[in-house]
Structure 1
């Protein structure tokens, strides 16, 4: 299937009315393609049991013994289990990495466009029923926090803010660790944390993400371009690193291509391992693929494989 790019969302090319129209089109696309995949406001990307303790009741054959309420059992001399009540409202926080390495794309769109598309998909999947969603948008030069609120007006304003975030100046490194760290304070009730990034650069965010995952469910959205994984089969190429400002010219040989592909795969494997230790399933979106199909496939699969995320193959 050919890649189906998101509506053009580049902040420098759209006036506010056109940006609003593009976001509405994006919302319709996500909702129509996910029709029949999700059922109910509180069945989202990472479904699980309730986290709030409820009333105790008499034990019945087949009940999970791990839910035994020993204090009530001792007081009444009859075995009781403690029921768990599902949270009525979900609070979701997204980290949208818009560092300079995301301002790049050689296929149907830029990786920055996919960050906005992924943020929109997460927003439309988790909103409704009073659920709240907020975001931390990080470029390396600036970090903007958008408070978690409910409602369609807030969702649209948040996505507009993400889509219109100015690009980082050339030579400014991203700060994914700092953006993830900002999710820890102030402390919030249990919810969902989503990190959207290409995860290029130093892997210094593991400790922060693990601390977040100790209290919240975590989802990682990996955004990739084909050139992140392999060099083109050309003779001479000029490569520029926007996060360091360095530019170098190379003669692309078969050995250089092989070494680059090997190093890129080794980095992805390390990222995968780090995310697995944090209990974060990974949804991969690529600029050369139909991103909405990947979202639909991920959502429909994870509804049935929660708890086995670390065993699932990478997309």
Structure 2
């Protein structure tokens, strides 16, 4: 049983190199599918770079980037473990998710709960490296993470709640580096939420048929054939809101080039999307890591330039 693979994650290091006993736990954390961790990380890195540019001080930026990397991967793992505990009955009814460790019988619920606590403790150690305001800001995000798995049962907009959770890092960089959350941080957060709604709608089209059968709601089902138009709205909002944040932050040309590259990537996704092709939906969803890295690269160059002595 430990050797069984999750349906939408094959040929990765977990399946081929990790010890057999560890594989179900690594799958609970989605280390066989790290794209979610990268997407959680992007707003953290954006905000850290933008805040460092505002402060004109990049001396701590590399350390913050490393800590955010560790924290994003660990806390995404904890979030996925909680999601799998909460969704174990639904997962058993969906073709893509019925091979996940809990519905497949590879890990019991108490074992998963213990693993969840272990991951949360590692995340707490990372969080304690920051100032008190940042610690409290990070802890506040747990409320959203806790309620997210249940949103698909009660609203057509669970992607909004996911956006609130996955974009929290847009606030954390400001909390860590500047010790505050201001209008610039909130605009970056709002732009990231719009981005998450867009890319997770693409992702949710993989499960639209199964979701309809079992009564799970999503923006993919809500938008249906109008998904392309909806993506124009949400991806457009993402670019505009992030652009306003850059303007308020006094960002220089590298950041704007990064935003233009980010916007171009989102346009490419919309033009390429075929909602009836699950494999393509997954590829386009995963490509958002690259979109996020393009923006981050521009913000990093901008931060370094603004921090350099004149």
Q: Into which bin does the TM-score normalised by the smaller protein fall?
A: 0.3 to 0.5
Structure with the higher helix share, 1 or 2? 2
Q: TM-score, normalised by structure 2?
A: 0.34
Structure with the higher strand share, 1 or 2? 1
Q: TM-score, normalised by structure 1?
A: 0.34
